[in-house]
Structure 1
Amino acid sequence: MNRLARRRLGPALVMLLLGGCVYLPETTIRYDEKCGVYERKMTMQPYQVGSLMGCRDEGCVAGLVAAGVVSAASAVVTGSVVVVGNVVNWLEKQGQCLNPAPKADDPGAPAAK
């Protein structure tokens, strides 16, 4: 195997593993008994949408590169959506919490032991 072939093989293998995989946000809902509200949490979930296992010629490299770019872009976009969504959900929960935890400097708070 010549040097050029080895240099192309590494990125091609990485993109082959990532190829056909996109990331989508997923929201779970649970009831928080302490606050008396429903709490939402977002996570990133990978989904495989295709496989490029039968790839043999140089035209295949473009497909692998495109699949890697799509996978990376979906991870960045979905990650941003998840972070912003979780911040918004946390702020919403803080505003709706019926029994917030007392602060340490609150005069009505129980004394620490």
Structure 2
Amino acid sequence: MLPTGGQYPVPRSTPLLLATALVLCSCIFVPRTTQRYDSACGITERHMTLDAYQVGAFGGCRNEGCAELLVLAGAVSAASLVVSGSVVVVGEVVYWLEARGRCLAR
């Protein structure tokens, strides 16, 4: 039976599971430019990829301080994914247009 008043009991292991999941998933995303040779056009094309780098684990934090750090790490990870993902999408479009223009010019 569920308790009344809209509150549910939280198992003791929930904070530990949440902390473990966030630490394992806390990473930042960085755009990277690579080059490939297109033999059909005879040009070198640039492409953008998204690389993920794991952020170091937290040590020595307790209770609410640890929770705040984990929330901050999750927010930074999400923000870096949105910003870097947008940069990669725009960069890929620009590089694709550049490659098509150079290929047609040959």
Q: TM-score, normalised by structure 1?
A: 0.73
Residues 43-69 of structure 1: CA deviation (Å, up to 9, x unaligned): 110112321255442210000000000
Identical-pair percentage: 53
1:16 has 2:23 as partner: yes
State the alpha-carbon separation in 2 of the partners of residues 48 and 8 from structure 1.
21
Choose from 33, 46, 51 the match for 1:45. Answer: 51
Is the contact made by 1:35 and 1:97 (CA closer than 8 Å) also made in structure 2? yes
For the aligned residue pairs, the C-alpha RMSD in angstroms reads: 2.3
State the alpha-carbon separation in 1 of the partners of residues 20 and 56 from structure 2.
16
Q: What letter corresponds to residue 71 of structure 1 in structure 2?
A: S
State the alpha-carbon separation in 1 of the partners of residues 93 and 12 from structure 2.
46
Largest Rg, 1 or 2: 1
Q: Summarize the alignment of residues 1-113 of structure 1 with structure 2, pairs less than 5 Å apart.
A: 3=10, 5-6=12-13, 8-19=15-26, 21-98=27-104
State the alpha-carbon separation in 2 of the partners of residues 80 and 5 from structure 1.
39
State the alpha-carbon separation in 2 of the partners of residues 49 and 7 from structure 1.
22
Q: Which runs of 5+ in 1 are unaligned?
A: 101-113
- Provide the secondary structure at the position in 1 that maps to 2:30: strand
- In the TM superposition, structure 1's runs of 4+ consecutive aligned residues that sit over 2 Å from their partners are 4-14, 53-58
Q: TM-score, normalised by structure 2?
A: 0.77
How many residues are aligned here?
98
